[in-house]
Amino acid sequence: MQITPVQAPSHETVLRVHDAEIGLTGFIALHSTHLGPAAGGLRMRPYASEDAALTDALRLSRGMTYKNAAAGLPLGGGKAVIMGDASKKTPEQLVTFARAVQSLEGRYWTAEDMGMSPSDMELMTQETKFVAGLPNGAHASGDPSPITARGIFNSIKTTARHRFGSDDLNGRTVSVQGLGHVGGYLCQYLNEAGAKLIVADIDTDRVQEICALYDAEAATAEDILTAKADIFAPCAIGAILNEASIANLNVEAVCGGANNQLATQEDGGRLHARGILYAPDFVANAGGIINVATEILEVADRAAYVDEKLATLDVTLDAILTRAKQMDCSPDAVATSIVDEMLAAKAA
């Protein structure tokens, strides 16, 4: 295996990990360790080129810096990617990649992301101890998505309070895009709170299942982007808030779990210009990393830690939305500048 440093001025450390014999090429990107060891998952998916894989690692690791900081976690931002079809991954690839993680001696903690499972993480423990998301063990934190959904639900209430003057969701309509792990739990919480649901997924069986469970209205994957609702909750893919989709949104607010919802930074401004209140995704969906952090930090009382951090996250979102209103600007710009200030203070 070869581990080669890659020059990336925006990041502290970037490594290219390569082993031709076992068909392994990937990157580990550490954006910032100012607040603590960099933490962020390992993603495996086919990329069109090495450049595309590197760009993804750089972008995602930066996102983790902002998410971890906004959640008040003593963790920095990092992410790793392996190029290839995850259904064809081999134990050799994972164990070899784990050696590269170990070479950073704890400056980076990995966990599952797209294409990885808890058993893959367990395999990696053969070569590194800096891995979370394990299926077993004293501090194993399990599936993060119920906690992620709890955080989004709280954020929807806070967003509703700012947009409508009340956080009572009884009778409010919420459109949900993506009914997977996060979207499914979110629908449950919204239904319990009395919200009316409009739901969409490319998996039509899943749509039927959620409609039956929560008396939801089904929309197609296209129509969910223009459905009339009070709040839109994107819980599927990134970059769905772009110039074209924002122009056609028929909602008063957006708050959901998908990572990187804004296609570009200008799209935060576009939502603001349309009077649509946007809860920054890296704040609303930080419940998952809060859950994973309990494993990395070996927290003794996980439930209490999660409750406390979710409550703080709520206060943070409230402060972001208040400041955005005072400054008449996008909450995303405010959230980003708050984290930038935190990082600058730590670096000083």
- As beta bridge partners, residue 17 has 3, 26
Measured between its terminal Cα atoms, the distance across the chain in Å is: 37
Q: What's the longest Cα–Cα distance across the chain?
A: 61
For position 311 contacting ligand NAD by CB under 6 A, the verdict is: no
Dihedral pair phi/psi, residue 93, rounded to 5°: -60, -45
Q: Shortest Cβ contact with ligand NAD: which residue?
A: 180
Question: Which CB sits closer to ligand NAD, 24 or 75?
Answer: 75
- As beta bridge partners, residue 228 has 250
Dihedral pair phi/psi, residue 291, rounded to 5°: -65, -45
Least separation in angstroms between residue 176's CB and ligand NAD is 9
Interacting residues with ligand NAD between 60 and 89 (CB under 6 A) = none
A 10 A CB-CB count for 330 gives 23
Question: Do the annotations mark residue 131 as ligand-binding?
Answer: no
| Lookup: tokens for 42 | 């390992």
Least separation in angstroms between residue 343's CB and ligand NAD is 21
Question: Do the annotations mark residue 137 as ligand-binding?
Answer: no
Question: Which CB sits closer to ligand NAD, 180 or 269?
Answer: 180
Least separation in angstroms between residue 241's CB and ligand NAD is 13
Question: Do the annotations mark residue 180 as ligand-binding?
Answer: yes
Determine the Cα–Cα distance for residues 8 and 30; give it in Å rounded to an integer. Answer: 10
A 10 A CB-CB count for 26 gives 26
Least separation in angstroms between residue 292's CB and ligand NAD is 9
Determine the Cα–Cα distance for residues 112 and 123; give it in Å rounded to an integer. Answer: 12
The site that binds ligand NAD (CB under 6 A) totals a number of residues, namely: 24
Question: Which CB sits closer to ligand NAD, 125 or 245?
Answer: 245
Stretch that binds ligand NAD, among 17-25, 118-126, 143-151, 302-310 (CB under 6 A): 143-151
Stretch that binds ligand NAD, among 29-37, 99-107, 198-206, 319-327 (CB under 6 A): 198-206
State which amino acid sits at residue 243. E
Question: Which CB sits closer to ligand NAD, 65 or 285?
Answer: 285
Least separation in angstroms between residue 37's CB and ligand NAD is 19
Question: Which CB sits closer to ligand NAD, 181 or 346?
Answer: 181
For position 133 contacting ligand NAD by CB under 6 A, the verdict is: no
Active site residues: 79
Stretch that binds ligand NAD, among 48-56, 89-97, 123-131, 142-150 (CB under 6 A): 142-150
Judged by CB under 6 A, the residue of 19, 201, 295, 332 near ligand NAD is 201
Task: Give the residue ranges of DSSP H helices in the chain.
Answer: 50-70, 91-103, 118-124, 145-164, 181-192, 204-214, 243-248, 266-273, 281-284, 287-296, 302-327, 331-347
- As beta bridge partners, residue 232 has 175, 254
Task: Tell me the per-residue interface mask from 164 to 183 with ligand NAD, x by CB under 6 A, - otherwise.
Answer: -------------xxxxxxx
Judged by CB under 6 A, the residue of 144, 268, 280, 331 near ligand NAD is 144
Query: What stretch of H or E contains 340?
Result: helix 331-347
Interacting residues with ligand NAD between 233 and 262 (CB under 6 A) = 235-237, 257-259
Determine the Cα–Cα distance for residues 309 and 2; give it in Å rounded to an integer. Answer: 39
Determine the Cα–Cα distance for residues 277 and 255; give it in Å rounded to an integer. Answer: 8
Dihedral pair phi/psi, residue 255, rounded to 5°: -155, 110
Angle at the Cα of 41 (from 16 to 97), degrees rounded to 5?
Answer: 40
Judged by CB under 6 A, the residue of 33, 61, 96, 148 near ligand NAD is 148
Task: Give the residue ranges of DSSP H helices in 176-286.
Answer: 181-192, 204-214, 243-248, 266-273, 281-284
Question: Which CB sits closer to ligand NAD, 35 or 233?
Answer: 233
Question: Do the annotations mark residue 178 as ligand-binding?
Answer: yes
Pick out the residues of the known binding site for NAD(+). Answer: 178-183
User: Which residues contribute to the annotated binding site?
Assistant: 178-183
Give contact residues for ligand NAD (rule: CB under 6 A): 144-145, 148, 177-183, 200-203, 206, 221, 235-237, 257-259, 285, 288
